[in-house]
DNA sequence: ATCTTTGTTAACCAAATGGTTAAACCATAA
DNA sequence: TTATGGTTTAACCATTTGGTTAACAAAGAT
């Protein structure tokens, strides 16, 4: 039933299927049988390749985060100005997430369920840190490029504005009375609207 | 085990316990036995008063949303200027959520699990609509009080900035290397930081 | 006092679920 | 051809879980 089975090998098929099911239903809601059905194989194979539901889930989770991490690095560790980073990140991130709509909610939800998972993703090679971004904000404020603002708060603001609509999609669609198409259009507009909104606020 | 059992009656005790468990673990992760234990009663009582897990869950869910709805009405249907509403809402909402930290994530998560629940909460008497807010933004833009901005985008921005940190708490705590106390302080600062950020962006 | 309704419990049940096993399958190297 | 090793399957198992039942207690109602 899986649409995009790039992998011919069983192990990859399982991971693909597990991604679909876990990201839609979460650890608690997912069923091993459903993953097996989606992969078109016997349930015992899941255990043959991944031992347990927990381990299969962890494979999916770290995999998911390693997709997201490089996106965050673009705003945190790129060399351009804050203004340019905001513009680029907003544009790129919304494009990226439109292709992986379940990703942010999945990660946030499972991190809420078990905050210790954060340690697991921290081991990721590309794990992003805030340091550079914070000093850069301080510098640009001192140089008079930006209005005074705390780097941490700005970081939270940027990711809030970009990520939240994709986490709370049903809520937004409900309040704004949008169907799938309308929501997509609105997110398309946000590529510019959000960066304008941020730049308007911080640029001197 | 429940800390705040204001209700002496069994039915209320069950609802309190169910709120605790459902909001922390979600529909799929919650166990009827755990709710019974938390309420200090027999599991059969849950079914005696609420028939099924599904119905008990729905009672908790609509209850939770009816706490949140009046908060949203403050920004959508209050009579003050946009600037004042932003300031008030930001301040009040962050205070409110600090007392109910599981609320926004619970609602968002369960709405993702089953988007049809939106119809259920729409029947709520105090259900907020966007109409007034949108026309008010258009008016203030025309009067030259605000820079040109779309009302819907502004609404999304406001709730994103206010809600997201409470939905993605473990992520924020991880990136910013904060403990509980540090996170609380940061949210306290946001009461002013967020409204400044928004007002800076939209005020002419 | 006794009947009736409501509340409460322990024991029980059927279905679902994660996980295991033993046998079969199959490619490949000797 | 036939061992050999990894791969796959159907059947099975133990536990968990939402839900039920029948007996019992408490409290009004008559």
Confidence of residue A124 (pLDDT cuts 50, 70, 90): confident
With 50 as the cut, is the pLDDT of residue A100 above it?
yes
Contact call for residues B149 and A198 (beta carbons, < 8 A): no
Mean pLDDT, chain A, whole residue set:
93
What is the length of chain B? Answer: 204
Give the three-class secondary structure for B180. helix
With 80 as the cut, is the pLDDT of residue B125 above it?
no
Looking at residue A38, its pLDDT comes to 97
CB contacts, 8 Å: A108 with chain B: 105, 167-168, 170-171
Residues B70-93, mean pLDDT to the nearest whole number = 95
φ, ψ dihedrals at A76, nearest 5°: -90, -35
Q: Among residues of chain B, what percentage have pLDDT more than 90?
A: 89
Residues A139-147, mean pLDDT to the nearest whole number = 98
CB contacts, 8 Å: B150 with chain A: 189, 193
pTM above 0.85? yes
pLDDT for A174-190, tens place per residue? 999 999 999 999 999 99
Crossing angle between the packed helical segments A180-202 and A169-176, to the nearest 10 degrees? 100
Q: Do A168 and B173 touch (CB under 8 A)?
A: no
Q: Establish if A85 touches chain B: CB-CB under 8 angstroms.
A: no
Q: Establish if B164 touches chain A: CB-CB under 8 angstroms.
A: yes
CA distance B140 to chain A (A): 17
Distance B42 CA to C12 C1' (A): 15
Confidence of residue A129 (pLDDT cuts 50, 70, 90): very high
Residues A6-23, mean pLDDT to the nearest whole number = 87
Rounded Cα distance between A104 and B112, Å, is: 12
pLDDT for A40-76, tens place per residue? 999 999 999 999 999 999 999 999 999 999 999 989 9
Interface test with A, best of B122, B152, B168 (most A CBs within 10 A): B168
Looking at residue B204, its pLDDT comes to 87
Rounded Cα distance between B76 and A172, Å, is: 14
Looking at residue A123, its pLDDT comes to 86
Q: Which residue of A has its CA nearest to B186?
A: A153
Give the three-class secondary structure for A203. strand
Residue with tokens 């007034």: B132
Looking at residue A147, its pLDDT comes to 98
Beta bridge partners of A203: A146
Looking at residue B123, its pLDDT comes to 86
Distance A96 CA to C30 C1' (A): 53
Instruction: Give the range among A68-72, A83-87, A135-139 with minimum mean pLDDT.
Output: A68-72
Q: Establish if A172 touches chain B: CB-CB under 8 angstroms.
A: yes
Which of A105, A150, A152 has the CB atom closest to B112's CB atom?
A105
Q: Do B198 and A201 touch (CB under 8 A)?
A: yes
Nucleotide nearest B50, CA–C1', reads: D19
Q: Do A113 and B25 touch (CB under 8 A)?
A: yes
Confidence of residue B126 (pLDDT cuts 50, 70, 90): confident
Contact call for residues A35 and A23 (beta carbons, < 8 A): no
In this structure, the number of other CB atoms found within 10 A of the CB of residue A185 comes to 11
With 70 as the cut, is the pLDDT of residue A2 above it?
no
The encoded tokens of residue B7 equal 């209700």
With 80 as the cut, is the pLDDT of residue B8 above it?
no
Looking at residue B3, its pLDDT comes to 32
Q: For CA atoms B84, B86, B89, B91, give the dihedral sign.
A: negative
Looking at residue B2, its pLDDT comes to 34
Residues A79-89, mean pLDDT to the nearest whole number = 97
With 70 as the cut, is the pLDDT of residue B172 above it?
yes
Q: In the structure, how many helices (H) and strands (E) does chain B have?
A: 11, 0
Looking at residue A140, its pLDDT comes to 98
With 60 as the cut, is the pLDDT of residue A3 above it?
no
Higher per-residue confidence, B14 vs B3: B14
Confidence of residue A4 (pLDDT cuts 50, 70, 90): very low
Contact call for residues A117 and A61 (beta carbons, < 8 A): yes
CA distance B24 to chain A (A): 8
Distance A60 CA to C29 C1' (A): 36
């Amino acid at each position: 039933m899986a649409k995009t089975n790039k992998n011919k090998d069983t192990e990859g098929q399982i991971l693909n299927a597990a991604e679909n099911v876990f990201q839609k239903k979460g650890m608690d809601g997912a069923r091993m049988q459903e993953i097996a059905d989606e992969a078109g194989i016997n349930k015992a194979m899941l255990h043959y390749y991944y031992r347990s539901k927990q381990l299969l889930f962890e494979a999916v989770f770290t995999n998911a985060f390693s997709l997201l991490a490089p996106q965050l690095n673009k705003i945190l560790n790129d060399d351009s100005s804050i203004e340019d980073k905001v513009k680029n990140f907003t544009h790129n991130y919304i494009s990226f997430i439109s292709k992986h709509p379940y990703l942010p909610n999945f990660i946030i939800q499972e991190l809420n369920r078990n905050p210790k998972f954060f340690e697991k993703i921290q081991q990721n090679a590309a794990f992003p840190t805030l340091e550079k971004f914070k000093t850069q904000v301080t510098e640009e404020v001192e140089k008079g490029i930006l209005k005074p603002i705390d780097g941490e708060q700005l970081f939270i603001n940027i990711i809030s504005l970009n990520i939240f609509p994709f986490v709370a999609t049903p809520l937004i669609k409900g309040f704004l009375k949008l169907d799938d198409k309308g929501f997509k259009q609105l997110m398309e507009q946000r590529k510019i609207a959000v960066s304008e909104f941020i730049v308007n606020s911080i640029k001197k």
